[in-house]
Structure 1
C-alpha cells in the first residue's frame, strides 16, 4: 500500500482509538462503509452503525447498508424517518440538505443519549468540502466529527483503501438521496420520488450502471455516462425507455448531452454557498 495512504489510515485510526463509544451515521455507501470498517477494526463493538430510512432512500441503498454492516460485523440500528415530514423539506429549499442532516444527526444524538454513546461521526471526505454541502452546518451544530477530513482523505483515497480491505463498495457509484433529483424549488412528493426510483431502477436493469433521472414535472431528464449516451439512441433501447417511462408517469424523456455529473443540480449554487469556517469539530467534552 502507498506510504502516504498508510499514514492517512493510521491518522484515522488515531481519531477513533481514544473514543469510548461512537455512532457512525451510516448510509452503506463508499465513505460511510469505510469509516465503519476502520472504526470497528479500531474499537470493536463500541461502534454502532445507525441508518435512517425513508421514501427518499433508494431501495438498493438500504440493502447495501444492511449487507455492509453485516459483512463488517458491526452493530446496526435502522430508524424509520420520513424526511417529507420535516417542516419545510418538501418545498425543496436551497438548504434542503441541512434539514435532512439536522434530522439525521438529531436522531443520532437522541440514540446516543439513550444508549450512553459519546461520539457521532459521518463519512464526509476532503473532496466534499469543495461542493455545496449545507449539511455541514448541521454537523457543526451537533458536533459531529468527520474522520476522513481529519485524516485528510479524498474520495480516491477512500476507494483505494476500501479496495485493499476487500470492501465491495470500493467502486460503487455515488448514490445520494432521491430528493437530489429535484431542482431546488420543485416540490418533493411521494409520487415524484416513486417515479424517479422506478425510472432509475429501469435504467439499471437495462445495463446503465450510472444513471440519474432528474425530475422536471412531466419531463424526465436522464444523465448517463458519456460512453453510454449513444446506446440509449439505439432504436430498441430508445423505444423501451420511452414506453416504460410513460408507464411510470412521465410524458417526455430528455437526454442530457453533457452526461452524468454528480451534484449537477448544484451547478450555479456552489459559488454562492456559505461554508462553515471549520468543518472539523473538536472532540466532545466528557461529563
Structure 2
C-alpha cells in the first residue's frame, strides 16, 4: 500500500489502525483528524494525544459539512454528503504530502448498519484495512488491549449529527447544546450516554446498568438539561443502542 494518510478520529478502530500503520510504515504515516461543530473539542484534543503516544505526525483539518445546505437539512443520507467532502479534502492533503493512499477505520461490523458514508469512501478510493482483514469491533478491542492501547475499552463516539432525527435541521447552535448536555451527564458519572435531540425534548440513552443512576439523579439531570434550553427531559427505557435514530428514518 505504501505511505498512507489515516483518517483518525481517536476511536478504538482508527487508533488500532494508526498503531499498526505506524509500526509497519515508520515515517510514512500521517494522522488527520477533522474538527468543527460536529465533534466535541475534547475528542479532537485526545486524538492529538493518541497520535503523539503512537509516534505519528498529526494534523487537524476543518470539517465544512455545515456549510453544505443539503447536510443542514439532515436527510437520511446525511453522512454521505459529509464524508464525500471530508474524503475529498483528505485526498488533496495526501496528494500535497506525497502520500499514496487514504485509509480509514471502518471495520467488518459496519457493513451491517445503515451507513451511507461508506459509499462515499468507496467512491473516493478510500481503503479500509480493518474491514479488508475481516476484523470485528470485538476483535479490534482485543488486539488493542494486547498492544496496550488506551482506547481498547473506549466507548464509541460518532459525530454529534447522529443525535438528531432525519429531517430535523442541523445548526452549530443545536450541536453545541447536545455537546454540552452530554458533557454534563458524563461529569455526573455516565461513561456512555447519548442525548437524542427532539427539539424541546431531550431523550437520554444510557446502558441498562446505568438507568438506576439516571433515576437517582433525575432532578439534577432534568435541571441541568433545562438550563441548556430543553423543555422536557426523558429517559429512554430501552437503554443505549447504536443507530437508534434509524428506527425513525
TM-score tier by shorter-chain length is over 0.9
| Residue number in structure 2 paired with 1:87 | 69
| 3-state SS in 1 of match to 2:25 | helix
- Count of residues paired in the alignment: 249
Q: How does 1:237-252 map to 2 (within 5 A)?
A: 237-252=217-232
Are the counterparts in 2 of residues 29 and 64 from structure 1 also a CA contact under 8 Å?
no
**Structure 1: how far apart are the matches of 2:197 and 2:243?**
14
| 3-state SS in 2 of match to 1:267 | helix
**Structure 1: how far apart are the matches of 2:157 and 2:85?**
19
2:171 aligned with 1:189: yes
> Could you state the TM-score of these two structures normalised by the residue count of structure 1?
0.85
| 3-state SS in 2 of match to 1:79 | strand
Tell me how far 1:106 sits from its aligned partner: 0.6
**Structure 2: how far apart are the matches of 1:125 and 1:25?**
13
Tell me how far 1:63 sits from its aligned partner: 1.9
Tell me how far 1:82 sits from its aligned partner: 3.0
Are the counterparts in 2 of residues 49 and 75 from structure 1 also a CA contact under 8 Å?
yes
Tell me how far 1:268 sits from its aligned partner: 5.9
| Residue number in structure 2 paired with 1:264 | 244
Q: What is the CA RMSD across the aligned residues, in angstroms?
A: 1.0
Are the counterparts in 2 of residues 57 and 178 from structure 1 also a CA contact under 8 Å?
yes
**Structure 1: how far apart are the matches of 2:213 and 2:118?**
38
**Structure 1: how far apart are the matches of 2:248 and 2:36?**
28
| 3-state SS in 1 of match to 2:152 | helix
Tell me how far 1:103 sits from its aligned partner: 1.4
**Pair member with larger Rg:** 1
**Structure 2: how far apart are the matches of 1:60 and 1:168?**
16
2:53 aligned with 1:71: yes
Are the counterparts in 2 of residues 223 and 255 from structure 1 also a CA contact under 8 Å?
yes
**Structure 2: how far apart are the matches of 1:49 and 1:267?**
34
Tell me how far 1:204 sits from its aligned partner: 0.2
1:132 to 114, 134, 141: 114
| Residue number in structure 2 paired with 1:255 | 235
Tell me how far 1:267 sits from its aligned partner: 2.5
2:92 aligned with 1:110: yes
> Could you state the TM-score of these two structures normalised by the residue count of structure 2?
0.97
1:179 to 146, 161, 184: 161
Query: Which consecutive aligned stretches of 4+ in structure 1 deviate over 4 angstroms post-superposition?
Result: none
**Structure 2: how far apart are the matches of 1:100 and 1:229?**
33
| 3-state SS in 1 of match to 2:59 | strand
